[in-house]
Amino acid sequence: MNPALAIALAISLPLLGALGIGLTGRWPNLRESVTVGTSCIVFAVVLTLVPGVMSGERPGLEILEVIPGLALAFEVEPLGMLYALVASGLWIPTALYSIGYCRGHGEENQTRFFACFALAIFAALGIAFARNLFTLFLFYEILTLSTYPLVTHYGNDEARRAGRTYLGILISTSILFLLLAIVWTWQLTGTLEFSPGGILAGRVDGPLVAVLLGLYAFGAGKAALMPFHRWLPAAMVAPTPVSALLHAVAIVKAGVFTVLKVIVYVFGIDFLSQTGASIWLMYAASFTLLTASVIALTKDNLKARLAYSTISQLAYIILGGALATATGVFGSGMHIAMHAMGKITLFFCAGAIFVASHKKNVSELDGLGRSMPFTMAAFFLGSMSIIGLPPTGGAWSKWFLALGAVEGHHAIFVAVLMLSSLLSIAYLMPVVGRAFFFAPRDDGEPRKAGFWSNLKEAPLLCVAPLCATAIGCVVLFFYAPEVLELLEGMNLER
- HSE (side-chain half, CA atoms, 13 Å) at 50: 18
Q: What is the pLDDT along the chain (494 residues), one digit of tens a residue?
A: 799 999 999 999 999 999 999 999 889 889 889 999 999 999 999 999 999 999 999 999 999 988 888 899 999 999 999 999 999 999 999 889 888 877 766 667 788 888 988 999 999 999 999 999 999 999 999 999 988 888 887 778 888 888 899 889 999 999 999 999 999 999 999 999 999 989 998 888 889 999 999 999 999 988 889 998 888 888 777 776 776 666 667 788 899 999 999 999 999 999 999 999 999 999 999 999 999 999 999 999 998 899 899 999 999 999 999 999 999 999 999 999 999 999 999 989 998 898 888 888 999 988 888 888 999 999 999 999 999 999 999 999 999 999 999 998 899 999 999 999 999 999 999 999 998 888 776 655 555 555 555 678 888 888 999 999 999 999 999 999 999 999 998 877 55
Asked if 87 and 121 count as a contact pair (C-beta separation under 8 A), the reply is: yes
**Length of the chain, in residues:** 494
What secondary structure letter does DSSP report for 177?
A: I
Phi, psi of 143 (to 5 degrees): -65, -45
Query: How far is it, in rounded angstroms, from Cα 144 to Cα 163?
Result: 11
DSSP H helical ranges for 66-202: 78-105, 110-128, 133-151, 157-173, 179-189
pTM, two decimals, is 0.93
> HSE on the CB side for 452, CA within 13 Å?
0
Q: Are 304 and 238 in contact (CB under 8 A)?
A: no
Residue 155 has a CB neighbour count (10 Å cut-off) of 12
Between the CA of residue 43 and those of 33, 37, 39, 186, 443, what are the distances in Å? Answer: 15, 10, 6, 34, 43
pLDDT number for residue 187: 94
Number of domains the chain contains: 1
Q: Which residues in 84-108 are b (16+ Cβ under 10 Å) and which e?
A: bbbbbbbbbbbbbbbbbbbbbbeee
Residue 25 pLDDT:
84
Tell me which residue range forms the domain holding 19: 3-490
CA distance 359 to 352: 10
Is the separation of the CB atoms in 267 and 342 below 8 Å? no
Q: What is residue 341's predicted lDDT score, i.e. its pLDDT? A: 93
457 neighbors 161 (Cβ within 8 angstroms): no
> 193 in helix, strand or coil?
strand
Contact, 148 vs 236, CB < 8 A?
no
